[in-house]
């Protein structure tokens, strides 16, 4: 968003569903790691080093940077959980369309048929304002 006489840059990040400290999240992570055959440890930019990198980039671009965050809990349905997984991966990494029901069934088994998923959401926000 730009204003006359100045500019603002905003960078936000939230942690992936499979990195929360909840039984369903750990089960999801195990299922996804088995499916993809790799450890899932990327924090989608929420870790301290990534936030510092983003902040340094804004400062280098001439912005004065401030930080804030928003915390809330959301209650996800199973379909929202699976949709959140799909949205976190590049399309080339997702199961082929004809395999997605098998993928969803594996997730359903991993979370033992649970249908509601309380997700603690922490959104880290860096705000850069032109000096």
List, for residues 64-103, the tens digit of each pLDDT value: 999 998 899 999 999 999 999 998 888 998 999 999 999 9
Contacts with 5 (C-beta within 8 Å, 6 or more apart), sequence order: none
Q: Which residues, listed in sequence order, are joined to residue 75 by a DSSP beta bridge?
A: 118
Contacts for 122 with CB less than 8 Å, ≥ 6 apart: 14, 15, 46, 69, 70, 71
Tell me, what's the pLDDT at 7? Answer: 66
Domains of the chain: total: 1
More confident residue, 1 or 25: 25
Task: Enter the pTM of the model.
Answer: 0.77
pLDDT at 64: 93
Range(s) of the domain holding residue 121:
2-130
């Amino acid at each position: 968003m730009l204003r006359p006489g100045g500019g603002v840059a905003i960078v936000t990040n939230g942690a992936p569903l499979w990195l929360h400290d909840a039984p369903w999240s750990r089960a999801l992570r195990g299922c996804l790691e088995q499916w993809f055959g790799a450890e899932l440890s990327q924090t989608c930019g929420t870790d301290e080093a990534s936030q510092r990198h983003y902040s340094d980039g804004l400062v280098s671009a001439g912005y004065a940077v401030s930080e804030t965050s928003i915390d809330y809990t959301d209650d996800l349905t199973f379909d929202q959980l699976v949709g959140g997984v799909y949205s976190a991966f590049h399309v080339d990494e997702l199961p082929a369309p004809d395999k997605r029901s098998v993928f969803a069934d594996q997730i359903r088994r991993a979370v033992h048929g649970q249908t509601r998923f309380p997700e603690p959401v922490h959104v880290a926000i860096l705000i850069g304002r032109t000096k």
